[in-house]
Amino acid sequence: MMLSSIMDIDGSYMEDFFSSDPEKWLSSVRQIKNTVIGNTKQKIALLDMGIVSRLVQLMMDESTSLEMLLECVIVLNSLARCNNGSRVEHLLKSGVLIVLFRGLSHSDLKYIEACLRCLRTIFLSDVAPTDIIFQEPTLVPLLVSLMNHSRGTQECVATLFSCCCKTEEQQVVLCSSGAISELIPLLTTNVYKVQMPTLKCIAQMSYQNQAVSAEIISASCNEEQMIKLLTRLLARAKTTEMQIAAAKCLTNLHRAGVISPRDPAISIKTLSTLVRMCKKDKTIAERVEGAETLSYLIEVDLDLQQTASVADHVIISLASYFRVNTNEDDETLTSEQELSLKKAAFKAFAALGANDEDIRKKIIETENLMDHIVQAFAEANTQVQLAAVRCMHSLSRSVQQLRTSFQDHACWQPLMKMLQSNASNEVLIAASSTLCNLLLEFSPSKEHMLQQGAIDLLVDLTKRDDPALRLNGVWALMNMAFQTEQKVKERILKTVGPDQLFRLLSDPDGAILMKTLGLLRNLLSNKPHIDNIMANHGQKIIQAAVVLILEGDHPTAIKEQSLCILANIADGDTAKDFIMTNDDVLKKLMNYMNHTSIKLQVAAVFCVTNLIWSEDEDALERQAKLKDLGFQKTLQHLLSTNDSSLFDKVKTALQQFA
Amino acid sequence: MSYTAEKVEEITKEDWLDRLQNLHITRADMNRIIMNYLVTEGFKEAAEKFKMESGIQPGVDLDTLDERIKIRDAIQHGKIQDALSLVNNLHPELLDCDKTLYFHLQQQHLIELIRNKDIEGALEFAQNNLAERGQENPDILNELERTLALLAFEEPENSPFGELLHTSQRQKVASELNAAILEMEDRESTPKLANLLKLLLWSQSQLDKKKVKYPKMVDLAKGQIES
């Protein structure tokens, strides 16, 4: 019979187990237990034989003895350690969770513990439905109440929570169920197996949640404050696993806003621990986690970035993340490991270089880094791609570096290629932001990009659904138009076209409006350009920018931009006529001179000043017309203002009148 | 601050022993070390007697030693399956977590089968239970091969792998299991006495590295210092 050929002991106990004679069950289940523990082959064989449903059936039966229940759970636990996702799924489908959750309400502590261990084993697997413990509202409070019954319950409940707490709602549920006050004392137990899942749980609960973090940080145990408890677990005498776990807690609490970045627990202890985790002597997993946590720690604080950049050769340590498979140890890495190292390094470099020019310089000078970044653009793995682009974005803030390294590495080409590809929105946003920076006036890459059809690409971005992409498209065009040659300006205008311009000026997103106006302003700078552009596109521009914006309901900042554009137009020679012949516009100018907002008044007056500038040709004619319309009078009234900048502008304007 | 090359004194054995005499270790400390050894290694009766005679508290309920004692006994009598049964009752997760330990227990069972000349049983057991482990891990495969190689000899005790058949092998496995159980219970898995001896050996090796001459303890069991 097939059974005996698989078991090395006689297979009669399987028959006993499936029999209807309760006397035989206990000894048979014990034999099954001894067969499966430690032996994967047997686990699989028994799973395939349908043993799980039988176990669940026995456990659901009210008449089953406690002894029997215990053995059944133990067998389930062992089967769940199959290390194989589909096996665990099989267990789940057979309804083990229901029977295990029921077991938590049993009166016998040993049985409760056994159920918890089994649950813990299941939820540690990737395929476990972690949100399920939150679905039944009484379950979490029950688990919290069970937590401190024994060392076993401590370990298991903490692990369960750390595996299952993934969303903000779940964090809140745990917090309001009193989990924090049960968890904190576990940190002082000095039992490694209890402290570790507790640390992981705290890290999960505090992640990006200010309210929960606030509660955590205010907790204390035996008069020792949380920060002290956590820093104690950072000590070098602890395992690296524990140091990283404690560092993550402190990092998350800091980022959630409840620990100041100036607190030495953060700026000295946590930071130095994480930097140490990036060293070559640590395992791959440790180095990846160290770098990623470090980048999260420092990415929004300049002081931390500066401290980190000089800490213990961190830049050199991170650079070695790229030198895989050429290192002295004969460890050959899987491609997955190589990629996760690279991703972590990109993140760390991006964070380090976020705000400081000197740090960026040091990073960019790292051997071959730019090559690695560019190479990663072509990675199939989008996470790595994204990290690389963000890294480049961070580094592209460095004006000085733009002139040298970026040119040398032809970063613009892969960037452009990426923008034309089907990459995710996240990647495109990061890439287009980088492009914005590269398009700043003094960048040597600008010429190249123009030749490669940058304008078409950017205009295309302005048509996308994602407002962040539209913004970057316009912003990049704005940068491109800054102090550039006339033919470039012409091309931009032509490619954008009046329709798209209108659309952008009607965009619900205020930032996009601002940048579009900024684009117009840049286009209309420099006298000959202004005249030329207005000659070709004048009507539409006046219509679009000026009328649309000034008539519409927009915040002051946006209207100010529009008036500045008008002022630029008024600076041209022939362009002035566009305003002078437009009564509507003139009326608006008059209104804005009397506006409640000083800023708008200043802008309007400045525009008028340009119109009547006495050194320009035909100034007297224009002055006469405006005098007729009452402009001079209005200006004279404005002399009574308290605002000094407005006063100066008005004075300058009045001085133009002959 | 730098050291000038001083002439390093050479110390005589008498002087050394004198210095040792002047160090004072309390009796209470020594008793504690002994009690710790007895409890860790599972000498229950000795621990109970020692408790009565010395007044030192064992620090744990001595009844908790019972299980470990039974397990050690089972292994020392070659009854591996019994030992497995007992461990699975005491700590059902242990052998699932510690694959190497489990393998060593399985290996010991195999050795016992070979010792009893149950060739067929041995082969079947190896085939069904150990083959897959050998595939996963090259070190385990190595050990497996050594064990199975015993079958090739008429007198396996005299083969190059004969040491596997010594009782010391059983001891090794018993101690490994004992330590694992203690760790599972969050207790120290080695007796402090062992750590002290290791510290002594380490200190001597450090002195040797620096080429310092000193009277070396050459026999730990006898406490004999070379002359």
User: What pLDDT is recorded for position A454?
Assistant: 84
> Nearest residue of A to residue B83 by CA position?
A34
DSSP string, A29-53: HHHHHHHHTT-HHHHHHHHHTTHHH
Residue type, A73: V
pLDDT at A154 over 90: yes
pLDDT higher for B189 or A301? A301
pLDDT digit string (tens) for B12-23? 888 888 888 888
Q: Would the CB atoms of A38 and B96 count as touching at under 8 Å?
A: yes
pLDDT digit string (tens) for A316-362? 999 999 986 555 555 677 888 999 999 999 999 999 999 999 999 89
DSSP A320: T
Burial of A559-589, coded b for 16+ CB within 10 Å and e otherwise, reads bbbbbbbbbbbbbbeebbbbbbebeebbebb
pLDDT at A84 over 60: yes
pLDDT at A8 over 60: no
Report the distance separating Cα B169 and Cα B111, nearest Å. 10
Structure tokens at A599: 């800023």
For residues A271 and A310, is the Cβ–Cβ distance under 8 A?
no
Q: Whats the size of chain A, residue-wise?
A: 658
Which range has the worst mean pLDDT, A32-46, A146-160, A164-178, A442-456?
A: A442-456
Q: How far is A6 from chain B (nearest CA, A)?
A: 7
Contacting residues of B for A38, CB less than 8 Å apart? 95-96, 99, 102, 106
pLDDT at A609 over 60: yes
Report the distance separating Cα A47 and Cα A62, nearest Å. 24
pLDDT digit string (tens) for B117-127? 888 988 888 88
Query: Which of A32, A34, A70 to substitute to test the interface with B, most B CBs within 10 Å?
Result: A34
Going by pLDDT thresholds of 50, 70 and 90, the confidence category of residue A406 is low
Q: How far is A226 from chain B (nearest CA, A)?
A: 25
Structure tokens at A212: 């929960």
Going by pLDDT thresholds of 50, 70 and 90, the confidence category of residue A6 is very low
pLDDT digit string (tens) for B128-174? 888 877 777 888 888 888 888 888 888 888 888 888 888 899 999 99
Give, in order, the Cα–Cα distances in Å from B118 to each of A122, A127, B74, B113, B153: 40, 44, 20, 5, 14
Report the distance separating Cα A421 and Cα A435, nearest Å. 15
pLDDT at A271 over 80: yes
pLDDT higher for A240 or A379? A240
Helix (H, G, I), strand (E, B) or coil at B42: coil
Taken in order A83, A88, A90, A96, the sign of the CA dihedral is: positive
Contacting residues of B for A41, CB less than 8 Å apart? 128-129, 132
pLDDT higher for B224 or A267? A267
Q: Would the CB atoms of B124 and A77 count as touching at under 8 Å?
A: no
Q: What is the average pLDDT across A79-89?
A: 83
For residues A56 and A96, is the Cβ–Cβ distance under 8 A?
yes
pLDDT at A57 over 80: yes
Q: What is the average pLDDT across A302-321?
A: 94
User: What pLDDT is recorded for position A400?
Assistant: 67
User: What pLDDT is recorded for position A352?
Assistant: 96
Rg (chain B; Cα; Å) = 23
User: What pLDDT is recorded for position A355?
Assistant: 93
Beta-bridged to residue B217, according to DSSP, are B225
Give, in order, the Cα–Cα distances in Å from B178 to each of B69, B143, B189: 9, 21, 8
pLDDT digit string (tens) for A529-588? 888 888 888 887 887 767 777 777 888 888 888 888 888 888 888 888 888 888 888 888
Q: Give φ, ψ of A633 to 5 degrees.
A: -60, -50
The verdict on pTM exceeding 0.90 is no
Structure tokens at B83: 């030992």
Helix (H, G, I), strand (E, B) or coil at A184: helix
Burial class from Cβ neighbours inside 10 Å (0-12, 13-18, 19+) for residue A403 reads middle
User: What pLDDT is recorded for position A437?
Assistant: 84
Provide ipTM, 2 decimals: 0.82
Report the distance separating Cα A607 and Cα A104, nearest Å. 78
User: What pLDDT is recorded for position A208?
Assistant: 96
Residue with tokens 């992409």: A469
pLDDT at A3 over 60: no
User: What pLDDT is recorded for position A278?
Assistant: 95
Percent of chain A with pLDDT over 70: 94
DSSP string, A543-602: IIIIIIHHHS---HHHHHHHHHHHHHHHHSSTTHHHHHT-HHHHHHHHHHHT-S-HHHHH
Q: How far is B69 from chain A (nearest CA, A)?
A: 20
pLDDT at A205 over 60: yes
Burial class from Cβ neighbours inside 10 Å (0-12, 13-18, 19+) for residue A194 reads buried
Going by pLDDT thresholds of 50, 70 and 90, the confidence category of residue A444 is low
Going by pLDDT thresholds of 50, 70 and 90, the confidence category of residue A7 is very low
Greatest alpha-carbon pair distance for chain A in Å reads 118
User: What pLDDT is recorded for position A4?
Assistant: 38
Q: Give φ, ψ of B120 to 5 degrees.
A: -60, -45
For residues A462 and A470, is the Cβ–Cβ distance under 8 A?
yes
Which range has the worst mean pLDDT, A274-283, A400-409, A506-515, B61-70?
A: A400-409
Q: What is the average pLDDT across A126-140?
A: 91
User: What pLDDT is recorded for position A45?
Assistant: 85
Structure tokens at A355: 């705000």
Residue with tokens 């938590």: A104
